[in-house]
Amino acid sequence: MDIFTIFGDPVAHSRSPLMHNHVFNTLTIDACYTRTHLVDGSKLRQTFFDKNLKGANITVPHKEAAFLACDEVRGIAKSIGAVNTIVNEDGKLIGYNTDADGFIAALHSFGEVKTALILGAGGTARALGLVLRQNGINPTILNRSTSRLEYFTKNDFLTYTWENFSCEEYDLIINTTSAGLGDDNLPVPIPILTSLLQTAQCAIDVIYGKETPFLAYVKKANIPYKDGSDMLLEQGVLANYLFLHGAISTDVIHPIMHKSFLF
C-alpha cells in the first residue's frame, strides 16, 4: 500500500486525510493518507523516508522547510520558495506548490477584483502574491513583523507592518496569517481592520472549517466572503493528480474529492 501524509504543527484540524482517502477508496487505489505532527521542520526529509512515503502535503509552519527538503522543485514553487506538495519519484523528493492555482480557482465566484491586500507574509502569502500578480493584480502585503517582508520587498511588492501601514482602498482583503487557526486572534489590530472593511468589496480567509474572528468581522461589514474551503478543495485536487503521477484526470478527481466535504 502506498502511504501519503500531511506534515504540520498543528495538524489535527486538517481535512486532507478525509479528502485524499475518499478519492483513493472511491477509485480503489491501494493507498492511505495519514496525519504527521511534525514540530521540527528540519526533520521533514528524514521523517519522509523513515515513513516510506510516496508523497506528502505540508501545512503551517513547514512549507519553507519543505522547499529546502526537496531534491528538485517544479513550477511556481520555485519562485515562491515554499512547497505544499512533495512527490517521491524513485527516491527523489520533487516539490510543488498547489496553493497558488487552488486560490485562483477559488476566487472566480467573486467576479472581477482589481486590487488586493494580503494579511500575512508566510508561505501562503508568497504563493498568493505571485499568482495574483500573474493574474494581473499586484497585491499589497501587510504583516505583523518585518523579517518575513524581506522576500516581498526584494520582489517589488508594496509592503507594510502594522506600525507604518497607510490604509488605501482594496477590493479584496485576504487573511493568510494563522491568527484564528488555533486561537481567537485577529490578523491585524481592530482599527486597521475597521478601516479596510469600509471600502473592501469582498474578503477571504484561507483558514477553513470555522468562523475565524476575521470572518466574524467581515460578516458584520455585509460584503461577500468565503473561508478557505474552496481553496482547500482546489489545491487538494491538484495535489492528488500529482500523487497519482497524472494517471487520473483532475476532472475525475474533482467531483469525488468535493463529495468528501459533505462528511
User: Catalytic site residues?
Assistant: 63
Pick the closer one to ligand NDP by CB: 89 or 147. Answer: 147
Type of residue found at 253: I
> Does residue 240 bind ligand NDP (CB under 6 A)?
no
Q: Could you give the CA distance from residue 30 to residue 32 in angstroms, rounded to a whole number?
A: 7
Q: Shortest approach of ligand NDP to residue 55 CB, angstroms? A: 17
C-alpha to C-alpha distance for 18 and 32, rounded to whole angstroms? 10
- By CB under 6 A, residue 187 contacts ligand NDP: yes
- Which residues, 154 to 173, sit near ligand NDP by CB under 6 A? none
Residue number, 208 or 225, with CB nearest to ligand NDP: 208
| Distance separating alpha carbons of residues 240 and 25, to the nearest angstrom | 13
| CA 30 – CA 224 distance, rounded (Å) | 41
Whether the CA torsion 173, 237, 58, 207 is positive or negative: it is: positive
Q: Report in angstroms how near the CB of residue 9 gets to ligand NDP at its nearest.
A: 10
Alpha-carbon dihedral 52, 124, 69, 37, rounded to 10 degrees: -40
Among 83, 228, 240, 241, binds ligand NDP (CB under 6 A): 228
Return the number of the residue (1 or 12) whose C-beta is nearest ligand NDP.
12
With respect to ligand NDP, which residue has the nearer C-beta, 216 or 247? Answer: 216
Supply angle C-alpha 69, 233, 67, rounded to 5: 10
Residue nearer to ligand NDP on the CB measure, 17 or 123: 123
Compute the least distance from the CB of residue 61 to ligand NDP, in Å. 4
Say whether 33 sits in a helix, a strand or coil: strand
List 20, 148, 226, 254, residue binding ligand NDP (CB under 6 A): 148
Q: What type of residue is 111?
A: G
Establish if 122 lies at the interface with ligand NDP (CB under 6 A).
yes
Backbone angles phi, psi at 247, to 5 degrees: -70, -25
Our CB check for ligand NDP shows the closer of 190 and 247 to be: 190
- Residue 144 in the binding site for ligand NDP (CB under 6 A): yes
**Residue 92 three-state SS:** strand
226 binds ligand NDP (CB under 6 A): no
Between CA 228 and CA 220 the distance in angstroms is: 19
Q: Which of 134, 138, 145, 250 binds ligand NDP (CB under 6 A)?
A: 145
Mask: binding to ligand NDP, 78-117, rule CB under 6 A, as x and -?
Answer: ---------------------x------------------
Element (H, E) at 89: strand 85-89
Kind of pairing, strands 85-89 and 55-58? antiparallel
Q: What residues make contact with ligand NDP under the rule CB under 6 A?
A: 59-61, 63, 99, 120-125, 143-145, 148, 176-179, 181, 185, 187, 206-208, 228, 231-232, 235
